[in-house]
Amino acid sequence: MTTTTRTYRTCPLCEATCGIAIDLGGDDGRQVLGVRGDDADPFSRGYLCPKAYGLKALHEDPDRLRAPLVRGADGELHPASWDDAFGVAIERLREIKAEHGADAIAVYLGNPSAHSLDAMVYGQVFLRALGSKQRYSASSADQLPKMVSAALMFGGGLTIPVPDLDRTQHLLMLGANPLASNGSLMTAPDVRGRLDAIRARGGKIIVVDPRRTETAARADEHVAIRPGGDAAFLLAIAHVLFEDGLVRLGACEGRVRGLDEVRAVAARFAPERVAARTGVAAATIRRLAREHAAAPSAACYGRIGTTCQEFGTLASWAVDVVNVLTGNLDRAGGAMFTTPAVMTGRHRKRSDARFGRYRSRVKGLPEMFGELPVATLADEIGGQDSGRVRALVTIAGNPLLSAPGAERLAGAVTALEFRVAVDPYVNATTRLADVILPPPSPLERAHYDVALYQLAVRNVARFSAPTFAPAPGQPAEWEILLTLSKGMMGMAAASLAMADDLVVRELVSRELAELAESGAPAPVDATAALAALGGRRGPGRVVDALLRLGPYGDGFGARPGGLTLDVLESSHPHGVDLGPLEPRLPGVLRTGDGLVDLAPALVLDDVPRLEAALDVAPPELVLIGRRDLRSNNSWMHNLTPLIKGPARCTLRVHPDDAARLGLSDGGGARVASRAGEVVAAVEISDELRPGVVSLPHGFGHDLPGVRMGVARAHAGVNVNVVSDDEFLDAPSGNAAFNGVPVTVVPAPAPTAAA
Ligand code: SF4
């Protein structure tokens, strides 16, 4: 007879951070018998989405690597010991660095890094050990424009206001589909319930999106804007606010600079002038502006449709301009800042908005937050000059499916001299690797959402211990990254424990120095802090240190009764609710003068480009992306519970466009852009605005060498073959996946349309 035990942890599969209860059993107690929502979780209150069931499938997936792979003399990937795999990776990377410099090695951190405590903390350690300026991440194919605008306006890249969902009476959402994403740049478990509650208390939800998304279909109003029209639309809203005398700064009164510049910019975007480019009638814009201003509380929120487009930084900035102008920034029910329990740099006074400290070698694109845009990675690899990138390290990333200009990037990665991947799968990118170092399954890791709690709609803290110990011999992800780091620093012989002590000492010293710089007395010195942190190792110790130095922490004894990791684990196994969002102005600002900068030069310099676009006829047909509730990352397509059902990788086309183009439902279509072309199965749907077609991302699993059997059977096509690596948001260099000009013609239907 087997016994069943129940364990609790946070689901790491998306930004919602739901609490889940996992039933374990089997002869060895290591089988996952069931996954359900944790009713006692104070934030998610028992909610979970279908993706959570994928955790069991992921843990048990036979395609998930349990041992490293190293490319042999025969050109194939073969299982290897950890010692051999580390040895090959470190030796070759060190050779390349010694011969060509650190910048000959590029690093790409994928989106799952943000959901892995190990990768969040020790990925940065590896980057510092490597010392390369050739750093890339999924940020520049996602939310980078919002980070740029937030850093410029408020001083911090993650100082991003989130809609106070639980109290707002009016929510204006642009390019966001939280019913599919479960919330993004807005950590909000059971977002459907939270949105329904807005309407139940008499509030209103408006969704501005080229597609009648799942969220739009459930909203009070759907405004079918043209892709890329968001910045002009929001500036027209601001125009009406100024014109009608509706500007009320509220909590921002006396705390902003640049209001006159914003007024002058908005004056150039009358609703009547932007109507054609945005596809939204001037009368609608005027009504929406007045309704927003009149609401007892209101929040404006933009997501992927506003960031991954050609005016991403302008649109991201304009979202918060509307929040400020209507008096809704930093007030209950408006757009507010969290007070996270754990946050690096919490005491820092210096602004993050220091961009362009160096530029990419080929196109001269500016560095943003120490990274270059992934859209230019292929450029940096290409050519024969001595400064080119010769090696690539990917950490939890699959850029050949997630970055624009995929075919060109595939050619570039193939041509590299050496590739290392820290990844659990042989996917479209890692199939080209020379060494693959697989981390353990998410159930074998500790978890704390360092990044996502900074964007939560309520202040919470929750720590998850590993559900299972890793299999014998399997290093933790942080140990993999720290071993690589030691190797790159010439400290291969040093013990992991010693290297980890150095990491934590450096982090704690930095935090204490920033605390002292902020004027607050540091409660302890680094040596005493290290001693107080006890015997933990790895990211748990880092979380403990930051918790204790955080706003709810015990201050290493200075605030008895405050949070420590021991307290969090022993007293709050389901997490602790730290209350609703609180007003944080002006303390949250790191802009130098303590004011919100409403008119950053980097943003305003892009306004002429937007104005010029108003006078150009829009392309006849443009491509946008699409998200599904059961997908987040491409590896999720290898999990049967998440991929089964009707084929999802279809080209959705409005019936009018289908008739005009001669397309039939279930037939094929060739979608072509400047960058490339794919043939996809057609799905005719009136959810799209005419002139807009849509393909989901993360597909294209049938490349030679991919070892993901389930995903291969649902291969689909890679939308990023069509996405253009030269179609970017100008200020940030972020990929513009939405609004790509395309042509579409009938083609034979793909044989396995999945
Ligand atoms: S909404 Fe996100 S965090 Fe919650 S169960 Fe689903 S995948 Fe996990």
Q: How is 473-514 classified by DSSP, letter by letter?
A: T---HHHHHHHHHHHHTT-TTS-HHHHHHHHHHHHHHHHHHH
pLDDT tens digits for range 288-304: 999 999 999 999 999 99
What is the reported pLDDT for 171? Answer: 98
Q: How confident is the model at residue 753 (pLDDT cuts 50, 70, 90)?
A: very low
Residues near 68 by beta carbon (within 8 Å), at least 6 away in sequence: 79, 80, 81, 82, 84, 85, 435, 436, 437, 438
Tell whether 87 and 149 lie within a shared domain: no
Is the shortest distance between the CB of 588 and ligand 1 below 6 Å? no
Are 709 and 650 in the same domain? yes
Per cent of the chain over pLDDT 70 is: 99
- Counting ligand 1 atoms within 8 A of each CB, the residue from 8, 9, 10, 11 with the most, and so the one to mutate, is 11
Ligand 1 pocket member 183 (CB < 6 A): no
Distance 305 CA to ligand 1 centre (A): 21
Q: Which atom of ligand 1 is nearest to the CA of 50?
A: 6
pLDDT-based confidence at residue 370 (cuts at 50, 70, 90): very high
Provide φ and ψ at 172, rounded to 5°: -105, 110
Ligand 1 centroid from CA 15, angstroms:
7
Let me know whether 236 and 288 are in one domain.
yes
DSSP 752: T
Burial of 616 from C-beta contacts in 10 A (0-12 / 13-18 / 19+): exposed
Mutation probe of ligand 1 site: the residue of 15, 49, 631 with most atoms within 8 A of C-beta: 49
Same domain, 282 and 164: yes
- The pLDDT of residue 348: 85
Residues paired with residue 79 on neighbouring β-strands, in sequence order: 69
Residue 197 has pLDDT above 50, yes or no: yes
Q: Write down the pLDDT at residue 2.
A: 63
Q: What contacts 24+ positions apart, CB below 8 Å, involve 94-99? A: 94/487, 94/488, 94/490, 96/390, 96/391, 96/417, 96/418, 97/130, 97/488
Domain closes at, from 437, 461, 487: 437
The reply to whether 51 and 91 lie within a common domain is no
What is the edge-to-edge ordering of all strands in the sheet holding 692-694?
A: 740-741, 622-624, 692-694, 650-653, 677-684, 668-672, 743-747
Could you give the percent of the chain with pLDDT greater than 90? 93
In the reported structure, the alpha carbon of residue 147 is separated from the centroid of ligand 1 by a whole-number distance in angstroms of 23
Site of tokens 């948001």? 729
Q: What is the average pLDDT across 261-272? A: 98
pLDDT tens readout for residues 591-635:
999 999 999 999 999 999 999 999 999 999 999 999 999 888 899
* Within-domain flag for 476: no
- Do 211 and 165 lie in a common domain? yes
- Ligand 1 lined by 48 (C-beta under 6 Å): yes
Mean pLDDT across the chain: 96
Q: Report the pLDDT value the prediction gives residue 752, as an integer from 0 to 100.
A: 55
Residues 6+ apart with CB under 8 A from 54: 13, 630, 636, 639, 641, 642
Q: What is the pLDDT of residues 71-92, one digit of tens each?
A: 999 999 999 999 999 999 999 9
Q: CA of 91: how far to CAs of 98, 490, 617, 737, in Å?
A: 10, 10, 55, 38
Nearest atom in ligand 1 to the alpha carbon of residue 183 is 1
Q: What's the distance, CA 37 to chain centroid?
A: 24
Q: How far apart are CA 10 and CA 387, in angstroms?
A: 43
Place of tokens 């850029």: 399
Q: Do 396 and 423 contact (CB within 8 A), yes or no? A: yes
Q: Is the CB of 51 under 6 A from ligand 1?
A: yes
Could you tell me if 171 and 225 lie in one domain? yes
Total domains in the fold of the chain:
5
Indicate if ligand 1 lies below 6 Å from the C-beta of 22: no
Question: Which atom of ligand 1 lies closest to the CA of 37?
Answer: 5
Please give the single-letter amino acid code of residue 492. Answer: A
On whether residue 478 sits in a domain, the answer given is: no
Q: Which atom number of ligand 1 is nearest to the Cα of residue 632?
A: 7
Distance between CA atoms of 657 and 655, rounded to whole angstroms?
Answer: 5
Q: Nearest 5 degrees, angle CA 749-CA 751-CA 752?
A: 115
**Are 623 and 595 within one domain?**
no
Tell whether ligand 1 has an atom less than 6 A from the beta carbon of residue 18.
Answer: yes
CA torsion angle for 507, 477, 576, 47 (degrees, to 10)? 150
- CATH number for the domain harbouring residue 165: 3.40.228.10
Q: Are residues 318 and 402 in the same domain?
A: no
Hey, what are 592's tokens?
A: 């130098």
Q: Which atom of ligand 1 is nearest to the CA of 191?
A: 1
Per-residue pLDDT, 1: 52
pLDDT per residue over 272-292, tens digit each? 999 999 999 999 999 999 999
Share in percent of the chain as helix, strand, coil (round to 5): 35, 15, 45
Residue 17 CB less than 6 A away from ligand 1: yes
- Per-residue exposure over 555-572, b if at least 16 CB sit within 10 Å of its own CB, e if not: bbeeeeebbbbebbeeeb
- Among 182, 639, 642, which is best to mutate for testing ligand 1, by the most ligand atoms less than 8 A from CB? 182
User: What average pLDDT score do residues 579-597 get?
Assistant: 96
CA distance 78 to 613: 52
Last residue of a domain, one of 388, 417, 437: 437
Ligand 1 neighbour 19 (Cβ under 6 A): no
Q: How far is the CA of 404 from the centre of ligand 1 (A)?
A: 27
Q: How far apart are CA 525 and CA 330, in angstroms?
A: 34
* Residue 754 · residue 715 · CB < 8 Å: yes
Ligand 1 within 6 A of 184 CB? no
Please give the pLDDT value at position 754.
Answer: 41
Show the beta-strand stretches assigned E in 47-129. 69-71, 77-79, 105-109
- Judge if 173 and 228 occupy the same domain: yes
- Tell me if 647 sits within 8 A of 631, measured CB to CB: no
- Structural domain includes residue 411: yes
Residue 589 within any structural domain of the chain: yes
**Distance (Å) from CA 52 to ligand 1 centroid:** 6
Residue 157 lies in a domain: yes
Task: Verify whether ligand 1 is closer than 6 Å to residue 182 (CB atom).
Answer: yes
527 φ, ψ to 5°?
A: -65, -45
One domain for residues 82 and 174 = no
Distance, CA 336 to ligand 1 centroid (Å)? 23
The answer to whether position 486 is within a domain reads: no
pLDDT of residue 482: 98
Last residue of a domain, one of 437, 454, 482: 437
Range of the domain at 108: 69-132+373-437
Average pLDDT of the segment spanning 533-537: 92
DSSP state, residue 464 = B
If asked whether residues 266 and 316 sit together in one domain, one would say yes
Asked whether residue 351 is assigned to any structural domain, the reply reads no
- Between CA 135 and CA 128 the distance in angstroms is 11
| b/e 303-319 (16+ beta carbons within 10 angstroms → b) | bbbbbbbbbbbbbbbbb
Q: Is the pLDDT of residue 673 over 70?
A: yes
Residue type, 240: V
* Per-residue pLDDT at 3: 76
658 lines ligand 1 (CB under 6 A): no
Residue 17 CA: which ligand 1 atom is closest? 3
Specify the CATH number for the domain of residue 710: 2.40.40.20
Question: Best mutation site among 8, 18, 631 for ligand 1, i.e. most ligand atoms within 8 A of its Cβ?
Answer: 18
* 3-class secondary structure, 112: helix
| Ligand 1 atom 6, closest CA | 49
Exposure of 150 in the CB half-sphere (CA atoms within 13 A): 23
Has residue 474 been placed in a domain?
no
The average pLDDT across 37-49 equals 97
| Amino acid, single-letter form, for residue 160 | I
Mean pLDDT of 437-458: 96
Residue 501 phi, psi (nearest 5): -60, -40
| Torsion angles phi and psi, residue 682, rounded to 5 | -90, 135
Contact 505, 526 (CB under 8 A): yes
How much distance in Å is there from the Cα of 64 to the middle of ligand 1?
A: 21
Cα of 710 from ligand 1 centre, angstroms: 21
